[in-house]
C-alpha cells in the first residue's frame, strides 16, 4: 500500500517539515552535481557501520547527521519525502516546531544506531531520511491511531484506492519492516550487500513511538 493522503487537517503551517523536505532536495541536487564521483561522495558522507566502530570520533558523529539527508536516487528521495509530507505535518502540529525538529533528529540517530549495531561489520554506507521518518510514523500511530489513510493498493495490472485506519496502515508497514529485517538474520545471510536498511526503520519507528509522549505538548 502507498499513502495518498490522510484525513487529519494540519492546524498550523508545518514549517520544519517543509524545511526538512527542502534541505533533503537541496542535498540531493548537490549529490547530482558531483557527477561520476557520486559513489565516493556517498561513501564519504554516509554512515559506514564498520568505520563508525573503528574510527569513532567527531567525523563519524557528523556522518550520522549527514547520512540522514543523502539519497540514492530520485525514487528514494521522492518516496521518503512523500511519507514525510503525508504524516509529518500532523506530528509537528502535535509537538510544536522546535520539539518536532529535536524529535526528528533524535529518532534519526536511534535509527542509524540500530542498523549499525545489527550490521557492525558492514562497509556499505547507510544513507536516507527513512530512519527519521520512521520515527515520525511511530509518533503518528500513537497520536492518531483512528485517522484514515487513503492508500493505493496494487492489484496485478490494476490498482485501487482504499481508506484504511492509520493503525492498520502503519502497523502493517512496521511488521513488514521487522520481518524483512529478521529473515536474513535467521537465514544467516550477510547484510553487507547494500539495499534497504530495514533495521533503521524498525529502530526509528520504535524510538518514535516511545519518545512521542515525551515530546507531546497536548
Cα–Cα distance for residue pair 199/73, rounded to 1 Å: 20
pLDDT per residue rounded down to tens, the chain (218 residues):
899 999 999 999 999 999 999 999 999 999 999 999 999 999 999 999 888 878 777 777 889 999 999 999 999 999 999 999 999 999 999 999 999 999 999 999 999 999 999 988 888 899 999 999 999 999 999 999 999 999 988 877 778 899 999 999 999 999 999 988 887 666 555 555 556 788 899 999 999 999 999 999 87
Question: E strands, the chain, where?
Answer: 2-6, 148-155, 158-165
Residues with Cβ within 8 Å of 190's Cβ and at least 6 positions away in sequence, in order, are 184
Provide the number of structural domains found in the chain.
1
Residue 96: phi and psi, rounded to 5, are 90, 150
Q: Distance between CA atoms of 211 and 22, rounded to whole angstroms? A: 25
Edge-to-edge order in the sheet of strand 2-6:
2-6, 148-155, 158-165
Where residue 158 sits, what CATH number does that domain have? 1.20.1540.10
- List, as one string, the DSSP characters of 177-213: HHHHHHHHHHHT----S-S--HHHHHHHHHHHHHHHH
Residue 113's domain spans which residues?
2-215
Tally of CB atoms within 10 A around 85? 17
Amino acid at each position: 500500500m502507498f499513502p495518498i493522503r490522510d484525513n487529519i487537517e494540519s492546524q498550523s503551517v508545518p514549517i520544519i517539515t517543509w524545511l526538512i523536505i527542502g534541505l533533503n532536495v537541496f542535498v540531493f541536487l548537490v549529490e547530482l552535481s558531483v557527477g561520476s564521483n557520486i559513489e565516493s561522495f556517498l561513501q564519504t558522507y554516509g554512515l559506514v557501520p564498520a568505520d563508525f566502530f573503528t574510527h569513532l570520533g567527531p567525523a563519524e558523529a557528523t556522518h550520522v547527521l549527514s547520512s540522514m539527508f543523502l539519497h540514492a536516487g530520485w525514487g528514494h528521495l521522492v518516496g521518503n519525502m512523500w511519507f514525510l509530507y503525508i504524516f509529518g505535518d500532523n506530528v509537528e502540529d502535535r509537538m510544536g516546531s522546535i520539539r518536532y525538529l529535536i524529535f526528528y533528529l533524535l529518532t534519526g540517530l536511534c535509527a542509524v544506531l540500530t542498523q549499525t549495531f545489527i550490521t557492525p561489520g558492514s562497509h556499505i554506507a547507510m544513507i536516507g531520511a527513512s530512519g527519521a521518518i520512521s520515527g515520525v510514523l511511530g509518533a503518528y500511530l500513537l497520536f492518531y491511531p483512528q485517522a484514515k489513510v487513503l492508500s493505493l493498493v496494487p492489484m496485478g495490472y490494476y490498482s485501487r484506492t482504499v481508506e484504511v485506519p492509520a493503525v492498520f496502515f502503519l502497523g502493517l508497514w512496521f511488521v513488514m519492516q521487522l520481518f524483512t529485517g529478521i529473515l536474513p538474520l535467521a537465514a544467516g545471510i550477510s547484510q553487507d550487500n547494500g539495499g534497504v536498511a530495514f533495521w533503521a526503520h524498525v529502530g526509528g519507528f520504535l524510538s518514535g513511538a516511545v519518545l512521542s509522549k515525551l515530546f507531546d505538548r497536548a
